[in-house]
């Protein structure tokens, strides 16, 4: 059980708070590259700060204060130019570095005054990688945006999925080190929803947790498996400070503010060997709804939707003074302790865990990955459909199991990439 003060320290993300300062040492994914190609401005709220993300006509990305420093108009209604973002109220033009480039009437009235040199807008760094746009809100020098190993993989269909979840980010991240929930929240609950008659999924016999350079791994042995299985020898990753990595996909829990979290999923599906070479021109992105408008209840049909239900169910900010932790929570306890130590370390001027500054190392940052060979080399369609079936994530998926609402064009592009028949005959998962 934690004290109220510890709970506050784990969950507050504003600038100046220990966790807010820790989080500001890392790049956060906030949008898809393709999203800004579709529309060059996007209002963004990140760690309690209201901002506007934009791409100007020269291809520069900017992330600046939502409010214009002149008289506070909303810059998400501004427009992009060859260089910078222009405010729609009086036309002041802002550059991604924070400089004011033009103040039309001021320059007419007082051509020599150079008032524009005396005003700046709050501006943060943005970088594109792996189809995502990443923002850094911390002090200079910014570290490198990690090139996680899957970002270097070829012959895969990648898609990015966003959902806005109305609860604090940290209870979502606690789920990244919670192997036992899978058996209940996903396997058994899905069976129950489908009307199974007491037929249970294999139960967890043993779990293990270890810290490594970029976070923690969690390992498990399920009924019918052994210590030779990769779920035990390799495990899955709780990536520092706010991500789950399962091998085939990442889930970042990006704090919008103390009470809201942006779930950012990056999913890689390896095409079968007979579909190689496969290259994506554009990584698609989509927004997944979390509530069924007809019933006003959370959507239960997909894996991550089930996770969201657990997290919002814990309350907007989980009250950790009221918990009763057991053996299955050993990883959660380890992670809380470590992240609070890291936050204190940052407050004392230190560098936290998993910061990458070495460009050589960042060419490809290796992680523990179950079935690495499969992702690198792929396999034939026959192998796909037979021997790989038992290990989750290592098979051709006919439907997207993680989030509801995949747009038809993304589904069709996926099926073409995988060599699946254009209109699938398999029943789609129910929407709720
Ligand atoms: S408020 Fe932006 S130019 Fe006046
Ligand atoms: Fe889950």
Give per-residue pLDDT as tens, 198-213: 789 999 999 999 999 9
Write out pLDDT tens, residues 258-314.
999 999 999 999 999 999 999 999 999 999 999 999 999 999 999 999 999 999 999
Q: What pLDDT score does 379 carry?
A: 86
User: Residues lining ligand 1, CB < 6 A?
Assistant: 68, 70-71, 73, 87, 89-92
Q: Per DSSP, what are the bridge partners of residue 95? A: none
Q: How far is the CA of 238 from the centre of ligand 2 (A)?
A: 12
| Predicted local distance difference test score (pLDDT) of residue 52 | 98
User: What's the pLDDT tens digit per position in 146-157?
Assistant: 999 999 999 999
**Interval between CA 95 and ligand 1 midpoint (Å):** 14
Q: How many angstroms does the Cα of residue 251 sit away from the middle of ligand 2?
A: 10
Which ligand has the minimum distance to the alpha carbon of residue 304? 2
On whether the CB atoms of residues 300 and 190 are closer than 8 A, the answer is no
Q: State residue 424's pLDDT score.
A: 59
Distance, CA of 85 to CA of 100 (rounded, Å): 10
What is the model's pLDDT at position 426? 47
Predicted pLDDT of residue 371? 92
Nearest atom, ligand 1, residue 90 CA: 3
Sign of the Cα torsion 341, 344, 349, 354 reads positive
DSSP 279-320: --SS--EEE---EETTTTEE--SSHHHHHHHHHHHTTTTT-G
Give me the pLDDT at residue 382, please: 72
The stretch 322-332 carries a mean pLDDT of: 97
Q: Hey, whose CA ends up nearest to atom 3 of ligand 1?
A: 90
The residue-averaged pLDDT of 319-334 equals: 97
User: Do residues 185 and 305 make contact, with C-beta atoms less than 8 angstroms apart?
Assistant: no
Q: Ligand 1 atom 1: the closest Cα is on which residue?
A: 71
Distance 393 CA to ligand 2 centre (A): 14
Look at residue 83 and tell me whether its pLDDT is greater than 90: yes
Ligand 1 pocket test: pick from 90, 121, 122 the residue with the most ligand atoms within 8 Å of its Cβ: 90
Nearest atom, ligand 1, residue 91 CA: 3
- Give the model's confidence band at 196: pLDDT under 50 very low, under 70 low, under 90 confident, else very high: confident
pLDDT score for 32: 98
| pLDDT of amino acid 1 | 79
Pocket perturbation via mutation, ligand 1, pick of 52, 65, 67, 68 by most ligand atoms within 8 A of CB: 68
Q: How far apart are CA 5 and CA 249, in angstroms?
A: 34
The helix (H) or strand (E) run that includes residue 335 is helix 330-347
The confidence score (pLDDT) of residue 392 equals 64
**How far does the centroid of ligand 1 lie from the alpha carbon of residue 39, in Å?**
22
Taking only the tens place, the pLDDT of each residue in 90-131 is 999 999 999 999 999 999 999 999 999 999 999 999 999 999
Distance 87 CA to ligand 1 centre (A): 6
344 CA distance to ligand 1 middle (Å): 40
By the CB criterion, residues less than 5 angstroms from ion ligand 2 are 307
Gap between the Cα atoms of 159 and 287, Å rounded: 11
Residue nearest to atom 4 of ligand 1 (CA): 90
Distances (CA, A) of 84 to 103, 111, 113, 116: 13, 21, 22, 14
Q: Which ligand is nearest to the CA of 71?
A: 1
| pLDDT at 393 (0 to 100) | 67
Closest C-alpha to 104, from 81, 86, 120: 86
Ligand number nearest to the C-alpha of 174: 2
Using the predicted structure, report yes or no on whether residue 432 has a pLDDT greater than 50: no
**382 alpha-carbon distance from chain centroid:** 33
- Closest ligand 1 atom to residue 72 Cα is 1
Across the range 80-90, mean pLDDT stands at 98
Closest ligand, as measured to the CA of 190? 2
Q: What is the pLDDT of residues 343-386, one digit of tens each?
A: 999 999 999 999 999 999 999 999 999 999 999 999 887 776 66
Structure tokens at 6: 């510890």
d(CA 186, ligand 2 centre) in Å: 7
pLDDT interval class at 428 (50, 70, 90) = very low
Atom of ligand 1 nearest to the CA of 92: 3
Average pLDDT over residues 422-426: 63
pLDDT digit string, tens, across residues 211-262: 999 999 999 999 999 999 999 999 999 999 999 999 999 999 999 999 999 9
SS3 readout for 34-75: HHHHHCCEEEEEECCEEEEEEECCCCCEEEEECECCCCCCEH
Res. 76: pLDDT tops 80: yes
Tell me the ligand closest to 91's alpha carbon: 1
Q: Do the Cβ atoms of 125 and 142 come closer than 8 Å?
A: yes
């Amino acid at each position: 059980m934690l004290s109220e003060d510890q709970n506050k320290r784990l969950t507050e993300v504003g600038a100046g708070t220990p966790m807010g300062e820790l989080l500001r040492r890392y790049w956060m994914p906030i949008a898809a590259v393709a999203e800004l190609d579709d529309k060059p401005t996007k209002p963004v709220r990140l760690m309690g700060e209201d901002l506007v993300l934009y791409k100007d006509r020269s291809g520069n990305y900017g992330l600046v204060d939502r409010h214009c420093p002149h008289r506070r108009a909303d810059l998400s209604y501004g427009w992009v130019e060859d260089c910078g973002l222009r405010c729609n109220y009086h036309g002041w033009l802002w550059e991604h570095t924070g400089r004011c480039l033009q103040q039309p009437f001021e320059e007419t009235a007082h051509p020599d005054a150079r008032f524009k040199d005396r005003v700046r807008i709050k501006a943060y760094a943005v970088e594109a990688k792996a189809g995502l746009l990443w923002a850094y809100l911390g002090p200079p020098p910014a570290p490198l945006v990690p090139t996680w190993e899957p970002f270097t993989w070829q012959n895969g269909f990648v898609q990015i999925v966003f959902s806005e979840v109305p609860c604090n980010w940290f209870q979502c991240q606690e789920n990244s080190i919670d192997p036992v929930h899978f058996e209940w929240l996903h396997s058994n609950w899905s069976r129950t929803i489908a009307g199974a008659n007491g037929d249970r999924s294999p139960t967890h016999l043993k779990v293990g947790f270890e810290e490594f350079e970029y976070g923690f791994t969690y390992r498990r042995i399920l009924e019918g498996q052994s210590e030779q299985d990769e779920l035990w020898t390799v495990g899955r990753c709780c990536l520092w400070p706010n991500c789950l990595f399962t091998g085939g996909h990442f889930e970042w829990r990006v704090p919008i503010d103390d009470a809201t979290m942006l779930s950012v999923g990056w999913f890689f599906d390896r095409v079968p060997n007979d579909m190689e070479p496969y290259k994506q021109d554009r990584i698609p992105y989509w927004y997944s709804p979390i509530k069924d408008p007809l019933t006003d209840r959370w959507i239960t049909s997909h894996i991550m939707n089930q996770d969201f239900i657990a997290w919002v169910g814990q309350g907007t900010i989980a009250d950790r003074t009221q918990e009763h932790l057991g053996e299955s929570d050993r990883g959660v306890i380890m992670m809380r302790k470590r992240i609070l130590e890291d936050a204190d370390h940052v407050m004392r001027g230190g560098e936290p865990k998993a910061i990458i500054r070495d460009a050589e190392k960042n060419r490809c940052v290796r992680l523990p990955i179950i079935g690495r060979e499969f992702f690198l080399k792929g396999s034939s369609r026959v192998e796909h459909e037979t021997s790989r079936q038992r290990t989750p994530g290592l098979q051709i998926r006919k439907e997207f199991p993680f989030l509801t609402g995949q747009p038809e064009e993304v589904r069709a592009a996926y099926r073409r990439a995988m060599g699946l028949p254009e209109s699938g005959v398999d029943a789609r998962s129910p929407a709720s």
